[in-house]
Amino acid sequence: MCLDYYRIKSAGATHNIEVKPESLDALVTGFFDGGLALQNMMIAAQSVGLSTVTIGAIRAFSDEIRTELNLPEHVLPLVGLVVGYANTEVSVTPKPRLPQSATVFFEQYDDTNIVADVQSYDEEILGYNATREGQKSTAGWIEKTAGFYTKNVNPKFVNQLKNAGFKLEE
Amino acid sequence: MCLDYYRIKSAGATHNIEVKPESLDALVTGFFDGGLALQNMMIAAQSVGLSTVTIGAIRAFSDEIRTELNLPEHVLPLVGLVVGYANTEVSVTPKPRLPQSATVFFEQYDDTNIVADVQSYDEEILGYNATREGQKSTAGWIEKTAGFYTKNVNPKFVNQLKNAGFKLEE
């Protein structure tokens, strides 16, 4: 799945309208709308008995995909989606989610209990990771998720965005 | 709905892990994941007889919302969502969508027919806008959508992102 401002740019040109989709606001809007579309695709697949796996890692190979798929300027790969039939021989326990107390606030953001709530969730995930079907792990959620963000996950991304025609200054 | 890296940063600190979510990759991932979550919220609302309207315009008031909701660093407003009961006295015709020939490609991006496809859709939307219930319009899709992107929609966005702790250089 790609973000595509090339299409409206091409169509605008036929009306003598010069489309400028290089801004950061246009970029994040494209990612957000991609999320909306992908969730619909996943739910639609599920509704006809198919299962999906989202491949976020393709962002790191944006330039390579640009070449392989012949993507024009202002088209940018967002995610890949594998569609298929899930292995039903493994019974899957849904992964617990963060408690609402750590994710939903009323009137104002309130971080009073946020660390305690996340620590409690961390304990829950430690148990889940140790006993779930399939790939087990001894890592908690905090260690794994915080560890993921100790550095820039995709240091090539700024250049990839520039290669796709985004300016990132405005 | 906000993107929130403050939570994992706070939790990581309890494990002596320094979380650095300032990169553009982390930013767009947050927007994408927000899209996934919002689509689920809208479908869930619909499933219990509620209707929703997404408010994308809140991005332009990011700083004001930051103050009003007391948002910490690395928390950023994405969209608002109005939930309520739709006016059932107005019968609504679903808006036609872009043809798949302009949005789905196999193996490689192919712009051979993209302008013609969009122009054909533009005609369809002109008819829809002129005859639909509620607010009518004489604008086509190209004129409206291309016109929207003739300038940076949200020129304050770069500063707003910096105010939220994002670096935008890496």
Closest CA relative to residue B13, chosen from B77, B67, B74, B76: B74
Instruction: Print burial letters for B40-70: b (CB count within 10 Å at least 16), e (below 16).
Output: ebbeeeeeeeeebebeeebbbbbeebbeebe
Q: CB–CB of B121/B96 below 8 Å? A: yes
Say yes or no for a CB contact (<8 Å) between A142 and B8: yes
Give this complex's ipTM.
Answer: 0.94
Say yes or no for a CB contact (<8 Å) between B9 and A146: yes
Q: Is residue B53 part of a domain?
A: yes
Cα B38 from chain centre: 9
Nearest to B24 among A17, A29, A158 (CB): A158
Q: Is residue B52 part of a domain?
A: yes
Which chain B residues have a beta carbon less than 8 Å from that of A43?
39, 43
> What pTM did the predictor assign?
0.94
Q: CB-based contact (8 Å) between A55 and chain B?
A: no
Which chain A residues have a beta carbon less than 8 Å from that of B10?
111, 114-115, 118
- Domain of A9, CATH number, reads 3.40.109.10
pLDDT, one tens digit per residue, over A43-83 is: 999 999 999 999 999 999 999 999 999 999 999 999 999 99
Q: Is residue A157 part of a domain?
A: yes
Structural domain count, chain B: 1
Model confidence at B118: pLDDT above 90: yes
pLDDT, one tens digit per residue, over A20-54 is: 999 999 999 999 999 999 999 999 999 999 999 99
Q: Is residue B159 part of a domain?
A: yes
Closest CA relative to residue B10, chosen from A155, A146, A149: A146
Q: Is residue A70 part of a domain?
A: yes
Q: Which residues form the domain of B46?
A: 2-86+152-163
Q: What percent of chain A has pLDDT over 90?
A: 84
Say yes or no for a CB contact (<8 Å) between A29 and B56: yes
Q: Is residue A35 part of a domain?
A: yes
**pLDDT mean over B77-87:** 96
Q: Is residue A34 part of a domain?
A: yes
* pLDDT in the model for residue B33: 97
Q: Residue B124 CB: number of other CB atoms within 10 A? A: 16
Which chain B residues have a beta carbon less than 8 Å from that of A10?
111, 114-115, 118
Question: Which amino acid does the sequence have at A150?
Answer: T
Q: What percent of chain B has pLDDT over 90?
A: 84
Q: Is residue A147 part of a domain?
A: no
Q: CB-based contact (8 Å) between A104 and chain B?
A: no
* C-alpha–C-alpha distance, residues B40 and B81, integer Å: 12
Nearest to A32 among B4, B32, B105 (CB): B32
